[in-house]
Amino acid sequence: MRPSLVVGLMSGTSADGVTAALVRLSGRSVSVLRHKTYPYSPGLQSRVLNAPELKAAELSRLNMELGEAFAQAALKLAGRSPVRLIGSHGQTVWHGPDKDPPNTLQLAEPCVIAERTGADVIADFRPRDIAAGGQGAPLMPAFDEFLFAQGPLRAAQNIGGIANVSMVGRGKLWSAFDTGPGNTLMDLAVRLATNGRQEMDRDGRLAERGKPDERKLSELLQLPYFRQKPPKSLDKSLFSEEFLRRYFGTISRSRLPDVLATLCLLTARSIADSYRRFSPRGLIIQEVVVSGGGALNPALMQHLAQELEAPLVRSEKYGIPVMAKEAACFAWLAWRARARQANNCPRATGSRGPRILGKIVLGDR
């Protein structure tokens, strides 16, 4: 496969904006040249978060709006760089792999991205995996296998809105799945308690002031998803506003630190529990490589260090900035698809075999 400059685009469950990464790919080399998150306007973010309630006409409009936002992010990041390929995850507004029939929906019209940028665009990666009997997610494990298969057993732990892990090394990927909530419940609790005036618990400061409710934690860790064997994947609909109201009631500003302390520990403990339940038998994880926004939360990282036996490092150790890894993954998925090489991970999603994921829209360059 020839060396390429590729832009990867994605937006996660927090819907805070489009993260773009400019990536140089060649052989087994991945180099992130630069990356940036371009925030959504408050109105666009609100429409994304409310997308499951929108009617068809509103969803159609939102799809085109997001296409424009993704296109602008690609143009701004690429600058004068000769980018001829873009990989776009889009914005997930619904993920139902266990529904009948299994289904998923990502918005951000790739035709708009191709028209504005002139580049070929490969997007909408999940549906092909679902069509092949898989969960459609997580998509990161194929990238993790590319990065880390040739080394000791590691847990590549991404903590975005949803947290996912790839247990990889000693020549292959052993297991991969969504471990549970990442930042989504903490972010949602902050928005509810502040009536939308704050988006997150920056640096985990409020969680550090609070006291976790151990009884509540024990109750939550008994939820069926945490005991379900892989392959498995999550949508934020499970860990939603309804979830918070059911288990925590009305979240006031005065209660917020204790709620955040509990939710922060829930993320850490559900990750650690998943390792104990689902790690390869007879093998010991030598290192946990953390990426995603959760890696920037000192309170969460401290809990993880206490809950896990293996040492924690951030993905920068391997040349991938923590906030760029997911976008870099979609650049890599597109690069593989253009070369007509499989880019899914059946061991992670449960699909029937190797597949080339993504829909191609040709540009005019």
pTM across the whole model:
0.93
Q: Is 134 helix (H, G, I), strand (E, B) or coil?
A: coil
Radius of gyration of the chain (CA): 19
The predicted structure's pLDDT at residue 27: 83
Q: What is the mean pLDDT of the chain?
A: 96
| Pairing status of strand 17-26 against strand 103-107 | unpaired
| Alpha carbon 339 to chain centroid, angstroms | 24
Confidence check: pLDDT of 2 > 90: no
The predicted structure's pLDDT at residue 14: 82
Q: Token pair of 94, please?
A: 């619904």
Dump pLDDT digits (tens) for 236-274: 788 999 999 999 999 999 999 999 999 999 999 999 999
Confidence check: pLDDT of 31 > 90: yes
The predicted structure's pLDDT at residue 236: 74
Q: Token pair of 338, please?
A: 């253009």
- Identify the band that residue 13 occupies on the pLDDT scale cut at 50, 70 and 90: confident
Closest to 334 measured CA to CA, from 127, 188, 120, 129: 120
For the chain, helix, strand, coil in percent to 5 are 40, 25, 35
Residue with tokens 């010991």: 284
Dump pLDDT digits (tens) for 102-154: 999 999 999 999 999 999 999 999 999 999 999 999 999 999 999 999 999 99
Domain with CATH 3.30.420.40 in the chain: 4-140+322-361, 150-318
Just give the CATH number of 4-140+322-361: 3.30.420.40
Number of helices followed by number of strands (H, E) in the chain: 14, 12
Whole-number Å distance between alpha carbons of 35 and 108: 19
Class of CATH domain 150-318: alpha beta
Cross-strand bridge partners of residue 19 = 10, 37
The predicted structure's pLDDT at residue 235: 77
**What is the rounded average pLDDT of the residues 55-72?**
98
